[in-house]
């Protein structure tokens, strides 16, 4: 399991397929700020709430120079269904083998209803224009998280 990222760390590079199967790289976004968030599964209530919150605030975030990328272990086909069903405007990437999720320390031990298991840890990493971690937030809540990021970033 990877160490949690800290401000100033280089953001791990990645290239993953989007909902349409096109390759998207973090390197393609150099010179822009990127909010990379990790969520457990498309088409589930909490993940839908979070994705809709990011979509609802996309104009505000883009206006402040931020791109938003959501990453989950889902396959591109499921991400396409998720995007269509919820009218999502954010970029959704597939990480079925969880390599990128693990490199961002967003995969690990979780507890739910007294059971411990391995899974995606809902996390948000803000990457600056130089590709360095500006903020690393782990174990975030789906509800209210986007509003908190906007407030914390002073947007």
Q: Which residues are catalytic?
A: 47
Name the DSSP letter for residue 13.
P
CA angle (113, 118, 123) in 5-degree steps: 90
Using the Cα atoms of residue 120, residue 34, residue 148 and residue 47 in order, give the sign of their dihedral: negative
**C-alpha 58, offset from chain centre:** 14
Cα–Cα distances (Å) from 86 to 7, 71, 96, 123, in that order, read: 32, 16, 21, 21
* Plot region of 88 (φ>0 → left; ψ -120 to 50 → alpha; else → beta): beta
Cα–Cα distances (Å) from 142 to 49, 64, 70, 122, 138, in that order, read: 7, 22, 13, 8, 11
């Amino acid at each position: 399991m990877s160490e949690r990222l800290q401000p100033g760390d280089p953001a791990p590079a990645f290239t993953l397929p989007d909902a349409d199967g096109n390759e998207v790289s973090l390197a393609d976004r150099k010179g822009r700020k990127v909010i990379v968030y990790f969520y457990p599964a498309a088409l589930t209530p909490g993940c839908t709430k979070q994705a809709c919150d990011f979509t609802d605030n996309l104009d505000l975030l883009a206006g402040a120079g931020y791109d938003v990328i959501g990453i989950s272990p889902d396959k591109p086909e499921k991400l396409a269904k998720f995007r269509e069903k919820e009218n999502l405007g954010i970029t959704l990437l597939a990480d079925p083998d969880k390599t990128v999720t693990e490199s961002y320390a967003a995969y690990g031990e979780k507890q739910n209803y007294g059971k411990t298991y391995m899974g995606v840890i809902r996390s948000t990493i803000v990457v600056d224009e130089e590709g360095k971690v500006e903020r690393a937030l782990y174990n975030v809540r789906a509800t209210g998280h986007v509003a908190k990021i906007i407030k914390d970033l002073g947007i």
